[in-house]
Each structure stands twice: as C-alpha cells, then as structure tokens.
Amino acid sequence: MDMQVAIDGPAAAGKSTVAKIIADRLQYVYIDTGAMYRALTLKAAEEGIEFDDEEKLAKLLEASTIELDQNHGQQRVYLNHQDVTEKIREPWVSENVSMVAQHAKVRQMMVEQQQMLARSQNVVMDGRDIGTSVLPNADVKIFLKASVKERAERRYKEQIAKGIPSSIETLEEEIATRDRRDTERKTSPLVKAEDAVELDTTSLSINEVVEKILSLIEGAKIR
C-alpha cells in the first residue's frame, strides 16, 4: 500500500524542512505544493497578468507546465521546462503568491495536478489544504504551527545565512499578512483537518518534530 503523508500549516512553520527530511529518510517522494503556486505567480508577472484576474490566471495555468524534479537529492522546480527553483523564492513572489492562490479556478486545477502526482507512490506533500482537499484520505495528517515571532526569527536566520538583507519586523508583518490571506480566503482556507495531529513547533527542534512524525507514520503502517 502506498503511504500518503500530508503536512499543512502556516507560512514558515517548518513544513518544507521537516517534509524533506522525512521524505529523504523514508525514500518517499516530496511534493512542495507551495512551489507550484509560486511558479504560477512568477509566470503571471512575466506575462503582465494581474494577480486578481482569476480567468486569465486559470488560462495561464492551463497553458503552462510545472514540474517538480527530485532527481539529485534536491527538489528543482521547472516552469515550461525552465529551472525557476531560485526565482520562485524571491521576496516579491512570497509577498504576492497568496493573492494568486486565493482563486477557486486556480486551486481546482492545482489540486487535480497534485492528486495525480500523489498517485501510486509514497509521498510526503506539504501545503495548506493537503489534509483537507488534496489528500483527504492521507494515512498521516500533520498540522504544524508556531508563533509569528518564532517563524519570523527562523526566516530571518535563513535569509541572513543566504546573504539576503532582512528585518525581523518586516518579516513578522509579511508572515502575519500571509496568514491572514491564507486563512480568510473563501476557497479551501488554511484550516487544520479534523483528523490531523497538531504540532506546535515553537519550542521543538527540527529533529524532535521529525521523530514525532516518523513515529506517527510507523503507527499508521501497522494500523
């Protein structure tokens, strides 16, 4: 039986860090659904499409290919066969992606693509609506959260390490804005699935979170 592990939660709660480690340890495929929304945001900007134009964004997505390549022990993201892995992490994309992700037509198409990716293989998928919409029957559902302050501090350290100038106050504001947009949107807002296990990572190390999820996966295997 294929295993499906869904990891949801707000921006910068540690989802991708944890999901990557788990996928690597268990040799599951890691699927970063946020990267798909980011790639569409990038393409929309390149084409001069407004982020509130649902029809045009849906058409653009239909005409685009977004691929996640796992091959080299690392995930790379391709938009129409061009490597956009670094570009989709630029701050202007982070600031605008939640506007693109709020449209029902865009989400419907993304969810279908994500469900296809999860078919017939063991997956760890992270996002906002994985446990509620994309993989409602996932074997293990996790909802990661952490305080805004803690998340801003983590992002700050990441950015400084990458040599990107940064301010904790600005990051706190950005994270709070994204939380608001993600939780208040009409179509599949960020919400914990009823059967998800909530983990507050504010005072947990990455390793503690990973071990906890691994034990939940072990438990699900023998169920």
In the bound state with ligand DC, the residue whose beta carbon lies nearer, of 209 and 223, is 209
Number of Cβ within 10 Å of residue 153's Cβ equals: 16
114 closest CA partner among 184, 39, 53: 39
143 closest CA partner among 6, 44, 43: 6
Contact present, 91 and 156 (Cβ < 8 Å):
no
Say whether residue 37 binds ligand DC (CB under 6 A): yes
Q: Which of 17, 33, 132, 201 binds ligand DC (CB under 6 A)?
A: 33
Say whether residue 171 binds ligand DC (CB under 6 A): no
In the bound state with ligand DC, the residue whose beta carbon lies nearer, of 4 and 98, is 98
- Residue 78 forms beta bridges with which residues? 67, 83
Quote the CA–CA distance of 174 and 12 in Å, as a whole number: 11
Provide the token pair at 200. Answer: 């507050």
In the bound state with ligand DC, the residue whose beta carbon lies nearer, of 121 and 177, is 177
What's the min distance (Å) between Cβ of 82 and ligand DC?
19
Q: Which of 174, 182, 193, 217 binds ligand DC (CB under 6 A)?
A: 182
What's the min distance (Å) between Cβ of 183 and ligand DC?
10
Residues that bind ligand DC (CB under 6 A): 11, 33-34, 37-38, 97-98, 101, 127-129, 178, 182
